[in-house]
Amino acid sequence: MNQGAGQVDPRRSIPRTDALLALPDVVAARERLSEATIAARIRAVTDRARRCELAPGDVVAAVVDAVTRTGPSTQTSVLNATGVVVHTNLGRAPLGDAAIAAIVDAAGYVDVEMDLDTGVRSKRGVGARDALLTACPAAEDALAVNNGAAALVLATTALAAGREVIVSRGELIEIGAGFRLPDLIASTGARLREVGTTNRTHLADYADAVGPDTGCLLKVHPSNFRVSGFTSGVDVAALARLGRDRGIPLVVDLGSGLLTPDPVLPDEPDATTALRAGADLTTASGDKLLGGPQAGVILGRADLVQRLSKHPLARAVRIDKLALAALEATVAGPVAPVMRSLHADPQRLRERTEALADAVGGELVAHDGRVGGGGAPGIPLPGFAVRLPESAACPLRTGTPAVLARVHDGATLVDLRCIPENDDQCVADAVRAAMEPR
């Protein structure tokens, strides 16, 4: 900015960095932020002032806001008012109190690989393994890895690297963010042997493809889409018989992580049913319908699980101590938030939604929730929502607390299915603030 003769550049009044570092709010922020982070945030504010994007008199307030509005992590806690239970963009499954407490306990030094009675090294994840086997007695052994894709990669690598994996063409799915099952398996060094067609695959297709180079049979639950009409597939029991007759292991990728059947989702496969039907191994995610942290869960025959656990790749996909603690607490603990949302009482949902509508002046409407996370595609979860103007969505999303609602047909729909009941008042306050004239 050019200054005339005798005119003082207003930028000279920008507070000095040492004065900003001495502000009480900045000093207090050192309990949460590093010196480097604080310095970077102050520098960003003063740079704005030097570019004349911020008045010098507003610098102190901007610095205080910069060091107090967020903590060490830039992730923002969100109230999920979309009605989608397993919302991938919101981190999938919210953890229950037991899992959160377990993570806090495991945050310091912990006996993750130590037997405190003997003082010698022990196996990793024994508690999580025992919890999984208690919850799924059909499994002989269990292994947890760092996510569902890793579970499938480890299984196909250990059983079929350099050999063939036989899979139906109708199950060659693409999962989130553009990752495709064929590419995932090819990365293991295994070769895909596709059988059948997109809509119809028969047992004979698998049988004709089995040969001396077959490493395993693979059945994948196409969890994020449905094919209807002139279709046919081969169930787990029939594939298991073929595998036993030919000495070929059957891996069933379940996806969503149900351990036992759920009457709300009658078509969603579960580990217990698949194993009892003869599957040798099942793989699934821990942060979908299982309701736990990001993890991959492998259940099945003891000899095969041990084979996977001793493979060199197992080290690369090892689950960390915090996820192990949360997984064990989720499986062994009370009903997880995902299951509470999935099985929410319709009458109680209506009562809560009516109360919210009355409090904010919105309209009560019927609204179907969804499982989300690729689980039970097309299956509605009947419920209710408060209908607001579409313009309310942005201030709700960017407010404090952040409330993510569904925008549909020119309206904002606030669904309480996934909102803890003790947060209903917070949602009401957020809606009122979002509806205020601006």
Residue 373 confidence (pLDDT): 85
Residue 434 confidence (pLDDT): 95
101-142 pLDDT tens trace:
999 999 999 999 999 999 999 999 999 999 999 999 999 999
Residue 45 confidence (pLDDT): 96
User: Among positive and negative, which fits the CA dihedral 237, 239, 241, 247?
Assistant: negative
- Taking alpha carbons only, the member of 200, 192, 202 closest to residue 167 is 192
Residue 374 confidence (pLDDT): 76
Burial class (CB in 10 A: 0-12, 13-18, 19+), 36: exposed
Q: Give the DSSP H or E segment for 172.
A: none
Confidence bin at 199 (pLDDT 50/70/90): confident
Average pLDDT over residues 218-236: 81
Percent pLDDT > 90 in the chain is: 83
Confidence bin at 2 (pLDDT 50/70/90): low
**What's the gap between Cα 358 and its chain centre?**
33
Residue 5 confidence (pLDDT): 54
Q: How far is CA 48 from CA 23, 43, 53, in A?
A: 19, 9, 5
- Sequence-distant (6+) residues with CB within 8 A of 226 are 377, 378
The Cα–Cα gap between 9 and 247 comes to 84
Mean pLDDT of the chain: 93
Contact 148, 285 (CB under 8 A): yes
The Cα–Cα gap between 257 and 290 comes to 5
The CATH architecture to which 78-89+339-435 belongs is: Alpha-Beta Complex (3.90)
Q: Long-range contacts for 43-51 (Cβ within 8 Å, ≥24 apart)?
A: 43/17, 46/14, 46/15, 46/17, 46/20, 49/11, 49/14, 50/11, 50/14
Question: What does pTM read for this prediction?
Answer: 0.90
Residue 176 confidence (pLDDT): 64
The Cα–Cα gap between 7 and 248 comes to 86
3-class DSSP assignment, residue 27? helix
132-168 pLDDT tens trace:
999 999 999 999 999 999 999 999 999 999 999 999 9
Residue 255 confidence (pLDDT): 83
The residue among 285 and 181 whose pLDDT is bigger is: 285
Question: How is residue 173 written in tokens?
Answer: 């799915």
The residue among 297 and 232 whose pLDDT is bigger is: 297
Average pLDDT over residues 203-219: 96
Is residue 226 predicted with pLDDT exceeding 80? no
Contact 112, 263 (CB under 8 A): no
Confidence bin at 6 (pLDDT 50/70/90): low
Percent pLDDT > 70 in the chain is: 97
CATH 3.40.640.10 is held by the domain 96-334 = yes
Confidence bin at 407 (pLDDT 50/70/90): very high
The Cα–Cα gap between 202 and 205 comes to 5
- Sequence-distant (6+) residues with CB within 8 A of 410 are 390
Residue 401 preceded by cis peptide, ω within 30? yes
The CA-CA-CA angle for residues 271, 277, 282, to 5°, reads 35
Is residue 74 predicted with pLDDT exceeding 90? no
Confidence bin at 437 (pLDDT 50/70/90): confident
Average pLDDT over residues 174-181: 71
370-405 pLDDT tens trace:
999 877 777 899 999 999 999 999 999 999 999 999
- Sequence-distant (6+) residues with CB within 8 A of 421 are 352
Confidence bin at 71 (pLDDT 50/70/90): confident
Sketch the domain layout of the chain as residue ranges: 10-68, 78-89+339-435, 96-334
3-class DSSP assignment, residue 81? strand
Is residue 225 predicted with pLDDT exceeding 70? no
Contact 323, 178 (CB under 8 A): no
Look at 3-17, 255-269, 393-407 and tell me which has the smallest mean pLDDT: 3-17
- Sequence-distant (6+) residues with CB within 8 A of 23 are 60, 63, 64
15-60 pLDDT tens trace:
999 999 999 999 999 999 999 999 999 999 999 999 999 999 999 9
Domains 78-89+339-435 and 96-334 share a fold: no
352-373 pLDDT tens trace:
999 999 999 999 999 999 999 8
Average pLDDT over residues 168-188: 79
- Taking alpha carbons only, the member of 14, 8, 3, 6 closest to residue 50 is 14
Residue 186 confidence (pLDDT): 82
Look at 228-237, 268-277, 298-307, 381-390 and tell me which has the smallest mean pLDDT: 228-237
3-class DSSP assignment, residue 45? helix
- Taking alpha carbons only, the member of 254, 335, 322, 251 closest to residue 291 is 335
The Cα–Cα gap between 134 and 42 comes to 53
